[in-house]
A and B are shown apart, each in its own frame.
Chain A
Amino acid sequence: MSHSLAYGIPISWFLTVGAMLFCIGLFGMMVRRSAIGMLLSIELMLNAANINLVAFGSYLKLPSIAGQVFAIFVITLAAAEAAVGLAIVINIYRNEQHIDADKISVMKM
């Protein structure tokens, strides 16, 4: 194959997809009631950021592997965040018998 897979696709397309995913995640954060649902939305936003990172890493005139490396770190931290978040969810569920984020207002003094 003599040319890139993405032949004829400019970077704007990927950035637009990233922006879409990000805003959908943002919307999800605001409307989802359950804590797990909010976690899912966060994953959406993280992926949006990853797409941007990888896109710039690949499309720069001085291509840098750093984009992919950062994406790997983000995936690592996402895994960590998911693990802790889910542990918290399970703990709350055990104590309160629900995970309705609306009703979890212990943060309110």
Chain B
Amino acid sequence: MHIFGLFITGYQVAFVAVAGLTVLAAVGVVLVPNILRAALCLGVMLMGVAGLYALMNAPFLAVVQVMIYVGAITTMIILAVFLSNRVMKIGFFQAVYNPLLAAAAAGVMFLFLLVTVANSVWVQGIVEKTPATKDVGVQSVATALLQPYVFPFELASVVLLAVLIGAVVIAKEDTADES
């Protein structure tokens, strides 16, 4: 359809909707004073990112995003919030820095990135107008993970093991100190 002389596809509409939700939720994450609500906002934001992945023709990654990020990491954060329940009482604008100063720094950063994106020559040169449609399924991801990227893959499993042990060691009740 045409709006103000521009041809608008349904996908563009969908993108604007999903991206808007994502950015809105992200703003919620940093601005909502109650940390539990902020965590829930993070969940919404992550779902939005999953939608963006789907729009970019990466369905497997979208599923992974939902399952791991939303399903596991957010849940873990919420659990940590419960464990340290007094956190929820901490308000927002209590930072030692003027939030306006922080906003200015972040804003300059954003402007810089925006200018870069808009001016970049490679946008026209190397990338396609639309995402690739071939070889984006589970099988191609699996082939990539287990053939050229098998070493980082194994390394990641080692890191996860180290984290598993490390987290247990850190969070464990230190009986020696308490006595």
Contacts and interface: CB of A to CB of B under 8 A. Distances in A.
Nearest to B42: A40
Interface residues of B, number: 93
Contacts of A4: 57, 130-133
Contact of B102 (A27, A73, A77): A27
B97 A68 contact: no
Nearest to B88: A34
A90 B97 contact: no
Given A27-B30, A72-B145, A90-B171, A19 B127 contact: no
Contacts, number: 266
B17 interface: no
Contacts of B27: 24
Interface in A84-109: 84, 86-91, 93-94, 97-100, 102
Contacts of A9: 11-12, 15, 55, 130
B58 to A, nearest CB: 5
B103 interface: yes
Contact of B84 (A26, A58, A90): A90
Contact of A58 (B57, B90, B91): B57
Given A7-B9, A59-B127, A44 B64 contact: no
B122 to A, nearest CB: 10
A82 B64 contact: no
Interface in A5-35: 5-17, 19-28, 30-34
B45 A44 contact: yes
A75 B159 contact: no
A59 B122 CA distance: 11
A79 B156 CA distance: 11
Contact of A13 (B19, B105, B128): B19
Contact of A33 (B49, B84, B95, B136): B95
Contacts of B166: 84, 87
Interface in B87-123: 87, 90-97, 99, 102-103, 105-107, 109-110, 113-114, 117-118, 123
Nearest to A23: B110
Given A5-B11, A31-B99, A37-B35, A12 B46 contact: no
Contact of B107 (A23, A58, A79): A23
A43 to B, nearest CB: 6
B45 A30 contact: no
A82 B73 contact: yes
A66 B99 CA distance: 38
A78 to B, nearest CB: 7
Q: Nearest 4 CB-CB pairs, A to B?
A: A28-B30, A63-B132, A58-B131, A30-B102
